[in-house]
Amino acid sequence: METPIRIAFICTGNACRSQMAEAIMRQVLGPRFQVVSAGSNPAGYIHPLAIATLKAMDVPMEGQYSKSWDEIARDRLDIVITLCDHAAGQACPQWIGQPTTAHWSLPDPSFHPGTEGDRSAFARGVAETIRRRAEQLARLPLETMSPDELRAELQRLATVW
């Protein structure tokens, strides 16, 4: 059996965007990938907006919890993607395996203003963006791409809305 491609999604709190990315990517990408998420300053919980959004999309979150990037820094990673601008600007751990890194700036639904309906619709939009990126990522021939080709494709995917 081939070794799965290990991908990590990083935010500051690991409560909303990175949790949605972990669950959606796991569902879309399947066994070819092992997907995790973490935060530089984990909130210690998954935001109810992320839970409700994924439940409405029939995306399971079993086994997920808010964790520090220190917990995954000792694991071999192939790809590390930051999702929030704050985490992208922080000094990240020295990742094992020299992963290809990218930044996909996504707004945080947990801070979106408005009514509960407004916030739910906004969170759904962010989740759908993650799903579209996952679907395109799944089609890439990652095993045969050079690190530079992979980095360029990951940056291209950052523009998919």
Of the residues 92, 138, 158, 160, which is catalytic? 92
The domain spanning residue 48 has which CATH number?
3.40.50.2300
Of the residues 7, 8, 10, 11, which is catalytic? 11
**11 given a catalytic annotation:** yes
**DSSP H helical ranges for the chain:** 17-29, 48-56, 69-73, 85-88, 116-138, 147-157
The one-digit pLDDT tens for each residue of the chain (161 residues) are: 478 999 999 999 999 999 999 999 999 999 999 999 999 999 999 999 999 999 999 999 999 999 999 999 889 999 999 998 765 566 677 788 889 999 999 999 999 999 999 999 999 999 999 999 999 999 999 989 999 999 999 999 999 98
Does pTM surpass 0.85? yes
Report how far apart, in Å, the C-alpha atoms of 106 and of each of 38, 64, 92 are: 15, 20, 18
Number of domains in the chain: 1
Nearest residue to 130 via CA among 34, 22, 12: 22
**84 given a catalytic annotation:** yes
Of the residues 7, 84, 87, 137, which is catalytic? 84
Which residues constitute the domain of residue 94? Answer: 5-157
